[in-house]
A and B are shown apart, each in its own frame.
Chain A
Amino acid sequence: MTNSQKGIKAHLAGHMRDYGLLFALIAIMAFFQIVTGGTLMRPVNITNLFLQNSYIIIMALGMLIVIVAGHIDLSVGSVMGFVGALAAVLIVEMDMPVSVTMPICLVVGGLIGAAQGYFVAFWRIPSFIVTLAGMLVFRGLSLWLLEGQSVGPFPREFQILSTGFVGDIFPAAWGTGLAQIFGARNFNVLSFALGLLGAAAVIQMGLKSRARNAQYGIADEPAGLFWGRIAIISAAIVFLMFKLSTFRGLPNVVVTMGVLIMVYAFITSRTVIGRRIYALGGNEKAAKLSGIKTERLTFLAFVNMGVLAALAGMIFAARLNTATPKAGFALELDVIAAVFIGGASMSGGSGKIIGAVVGAFIMGVMNNGMSIMGIGIDYQQVIKGLVLLAAVFFDVYNKNKQA
């Protein structure tokens, strides 16, 4: 065995979790692509996949932070439903402008998070209990707010939050030209261009960080793995954006989601506050003795979760074009499952944003794929449950093997 092969093997073993997750997503997509006879990867279905999972992914970002901080939030499904209901009541029944309603809803979400965070952080009541209470309270309040009825429809400018698409800025002739080349009915040049740009950015950032690591003599992943990973990721971006281009282009919600993912990935990995959250979850007492204001940080994690749940609630209501008392029911479990599939630890202190996003996509692709196949909701639940268990088992198994 050559040296570089040995390096690849050792590196793979050390980062089993990261690569495993990516491979699992690819394998699951490939599997459903085959068994659904190609339906999974159709442009319209890919667009749907994003729309269906956007609010789960947005909440998973906040949930990851809460879980890394060593807590849990069971109330997000209810809070999401409540805020959706609030938006409906304000816009549809009270004729409030959308531009006023949206900030109000986000602030309400933040206040809900603050209320729960207050009891968790400053009174040290276990988050499981506080947010279980919150789950019941806000489920009830949505029912009360909507008086048990569905409220809708929303005006167009609210709907576009979820179902709108980013218009093309390039000349229409380019689009028709490319559409003919690729044999599609229409083609959104902007989406495709953004896809190419994104792929280029991934390659560029990867190379930059690799160069800096080399400069400081830090051991990096072997070149073969690096290029393999970069190639897969950039190809996936170009591929997905191409698919979206041949349908209606880039959905607004994908832009929102993409920006949020980047912002939260940056916060968790590169900022002081992110670092402190990991320290808090990893060892609260040591963090406190190191001068970290652990209570305030816990409080903020819940406020942030509330704001994101509110955003998710509005996106969900906009997508259905109506607020229903059932909105968000049991959704907290999908969000939490996504975070744990993504490799976060129940005891806090570890987990990555990108893991939570991939975890959410794994759940999303399975939901979507199984629905296309016509598998009943009963089996779907069983399979999702087993996948969650398998993912966490894989984690624990790997840890034990390393120790």
Chain B
Amino acid sequence: MTALLEMRSITKEFPGVKALDKVSLTVAEGEIHAICGENGAGKSTLMKVLSGVYPAGTYDGEIHYDGALAEFRGIRDSEDRGIIIIHQELALVPQLSIAENIFLGNETAKGGVINWHEANRRTEELLRKVGLKESPTTLIDSLGVGKQQLVEIAKALSKDVRLLILDEPTAALQENDSQKLLDLMLELKSQGVTSIIISHKLGEVRYVSDTVTVIRDGMSVSTLDAKAGLSEDDIVRDMVGRDMSDRYPERERKAGEMLLEIENWNAWHPEHAERQIIKNISMNVRAGEVVGIAGLMGSGRTELAMSVFGKSYGRNIDGTVKLHGAPVDVSNVPRAIDAGLAYVTEDRKHLGLVLDETIRFNTTLAKLDNVSRKGVLDSHAETQVAEKYREALRTRTPSVFQKVGNLSGGNQQKVVLAKWLNTAPEVLILDEPTRGIDVGAKYEIYAIINELSAEGKGVVMISSEMPELLGMCDRIYVMNEGAFVGELSAEEASQERIMSLIVNE
């Protein structure tokens, strides 16, 4: 078989980060090629290079497509050559019909006037091909995610696709919808369409793919032949196999009395009431313990934390939260704070900070009672509180009157931490506490976590970086598709164990 696509030693740098480092990828004509790797390994960046989102010239290396050097200057360029990418977040307009979406930007029109007859007829044909029994005039709004995925594929087929790229196509799908989609991929393969699938679900990868390329830390690690039979362990080992050095400060590990207990916790999607996002989860945290929650993006970790923290996510939430053995009311955020919980968000810019305001303003925001009397603020008490945390957390800033929007990611994270430490919580839930911050700042955040644990606070740490969980936690819960699929002690835990718990549902 000849190669349809050859990406040769692609290197892509962003300011300060090498996202891709001499990655090579060869996709044969007519095969299904899987790309596997951890979150942030560089899979999506690679696909953006391929589809021209990062145009030729902004990366090093060469792309050979269909036997010739290809230099795409934008998505339009690559689409014209038959390379169609379907992103994880679907790009459909919900208020338009199936036919309108399929021909959006590519209308069957003459002189600007759309021939709806023709559009609907061709849509019906395409829908038949992907096995979707819906009228072309149905609004996207009324379709489930699985069917929307099929509409995306029909849209790709309408453009004479030669190389179809699916980025985590089944992440949001139910079991039977996923199966349908995978079978459709095989069907398209038999019609001569080449596909690339990016997926975490190794079962699916084994089911559809002919070849697997594993990417880790922006480098292509291995290319495996799947036709000869491939075990999931082989893939996992390549995905996570990196050495762990002492990037984590030492901590004396001792678990005290029981602090937080969550029992039989359930929550449903706020808009799609039929989708259960959190499935009967029970967990506990002892004083001085750092407990990790591992899982892939979209596994429901953030949703779990936010639903516990004042029902900030989801609907029809039920279950019990206990502190020191007694049930506590966490039905809204002020009550959760009073109960002794704090949630440090993964999305500090949108959910954690008021960026236009000062460090002082943000530090005291969640506990203004401490710096006010009868509703009147004492600005000097505020300054003192802000200064206290600036020193304790070693936030690097000229003064606490600096706007937080001007700080670096690591220092912003310290301000969010300061805000929550100021509420004197007993249990802190840290959601991706080191996301998007540099190595030095990460170490400082780890040191702060250790100090909190030494003070006898309970810490729940949600992270997509497995080495971080392994380095920091006393215990790790493994989460997948809204449920806990395992619990590992620090001694038992390894990246392979966690990965295999996730992929062997």
Contact = CB atoms under 8 A, between A and B. Distances in A.
Contacts of B350: 283, 285-286
Contact of A290 (B355, B365, B369): B365
A350 interface: yes
A42 interface: no
Contact of B380 (A212, A219, A271): A212
A10 to B, nearest CB: 13
Interface string A264-293: 000000111111101100110111111111
A77 interface: no
Question: Which of A212, A273, A283, A290 gathers most chain B CB within 10 Å?
Answer: A290
B163 interface: no
Contacts of B372: 271-272
Contact of B419 (A273, A283, A290): A290
B366 A283 contact: no
Interface in A242-267: none
A130 to B, nearest CB: 23
For chain B, what secondary structure do more than half of its interface residues adopt (helix, strand, loop), or is it mixed?
A: mixed
Nearest to B306: A289
B91 interface: no
Nearest to B365: A290
A275 B361 contact: yes
Given A275-B368, A276-B368, A289-B333, A282 B357 contact: yes
Nearest to A285: B351
A396 B352 CA distance: 25
B383 interface: yes
A382 interface: no
A1 interface: no
- Interface size class on chain B is 20 to 34
Contacts of B361: 275, 278-279
Interface in B344-394: 345, 350-357, 361, 365-366, 368-369, 372, 375-377, 379-380, 383
A271 B356 contact: no
Contacts of A343: none
A208 to B, nearest CB: 12
Which of A270, A283, A286 counts the most chain B CB atoms within 10 A? A286
B399 interface: yes
A349 interface: yes
A18 to B, nearest CB: 15
Nearest to B382: A275
A216 B376 CA distance: 19
Given A275-B368, A286-B354, A291 B333 contact: yes
A289 B352 contact: yes
A291 B337 contact: yes
Contacts of A205: none
A218 interface: yes
A279 B356 contact: no
B401 interface: yes
A401 to B, nearest CB: 15
B192 interface: no
A290 B361 CA distance: 12
A265 to B, nearest CB: 13
A166 to B, nearest CB: 29
A290 B366 contact: yes
A272 B375 contact: yes
A165 to B, nearest CB: 33
Contacts of A218: 383, 399, 401
Contacts of B356: 282, 349-350
Interface in B393-435: 399, 401, 419
A286 B383 contact: no
B312 interface: yes
A212 B353 CA distance: 28
Interface in A309-324: none
Contacts of A287: 354, 365
Interface string B153-178: 00000000000000000000000000
Contacts of B376: 270-272
Nearest to B380: A216
Contacts of B380: 212, 216
B312 A288 contact: yes
A275 B375 CA distance: 10
Contacts of A291: 310, 333-334, 336-337, 366
A190 to B, nearest CB: 30
30 contacts: A216-B380, A218-B383, A218-B399, A219-B399, A219-B401, A270-B377, A271-B376, A272-B372, A272-B376, A272-B377, A273-B375, A274-B377, A275-B361, A278-B357, A278-B361, A279-B357, A282-B357, A283-B350, A283-B353, A283-B355, A286-B350, A286-B351, A287-B365, A289-B310, A289-B352, A290-B365, A290-B366, A291-B333, A291-B366, A349-B356
Given A272-B368, A282-B356, A293-B332, 16 more contacts: A218-B383, A271-B377, A272-B377, A275-B377, A278-B357, A279-B357, A279-B365, A282-B354, A285-B350, A286-B353, A289-B309, A289-B333, A290-B333, A290-B419, A291-B334, A292-B333
10 closest cross-chain pairs (CB), A and B = A282-B354, A290-B366, A291-B334, A291-B333, A283-B354, A272-B368, A291-B337, A290-B365, A272-B375, A272-B372
